[in-house]
Structure 1
């Protein structure tokens, strides 16, 4: 596990195609690209089409389509409106996620996703009105750190 993971580039996908077409084994392709053999194997299985085999442009499109495309509250407008309307009524994210789960019969969205969405909106838009959707109306997570130096010393009886 000494290697750091990085995405396979289009140029590397082209090399994989050439070496695979030349009849090289997966371990040889991996050594040429300085990648793990499992990465090459997964790339060939995951991004190859059934009719044409492995093509770099198709593989690049498939990989891009699988990447993260925003939080669920950013993508699903109906869910976002349901969550924000309840938060505006003074509900906490825990209450909102619990109520939505109870109404749907299964878990719809977690409270952590709601918190992340609101804090991301605060950071992205710099609009601090978003903080009023939170129970304590804080613009940052965690506790405030103590200002100043050391804590006051206790009196000792002598």
Structure 2
């Protein structure tokens, strides 16, 4: 088994309908803002369940957002497994690179959470997908 130098795994609970996340994480403009130095190529677009990418640029490897439906919301899992494309000067530089990538991932997940939970009272029910609610009312 190959272990990469940059290893990030994080998860954040989002109190919103899982169907709402595809629009946010599928927006390529967001990717450029979240990871401005990375070249991302989609290897699997799973809609509301997430996206997998091949990563190039200063890192080479794989990255994934996986959205797991939990209770009335979802857990946004973020993974990055990559190698720097240039030699880093020592263990401290590698630790700093890992920290920076963890911080970028957490910023992304908090932005997704903030956007999808906007207007939700603290402790209130999860934000629903009004489009799904409207479609369900139409069918009934």
Q: Please, what TM-score do these two structures have when normalized by structure 1?
A: 0.22
* Higher helix proportion: 1
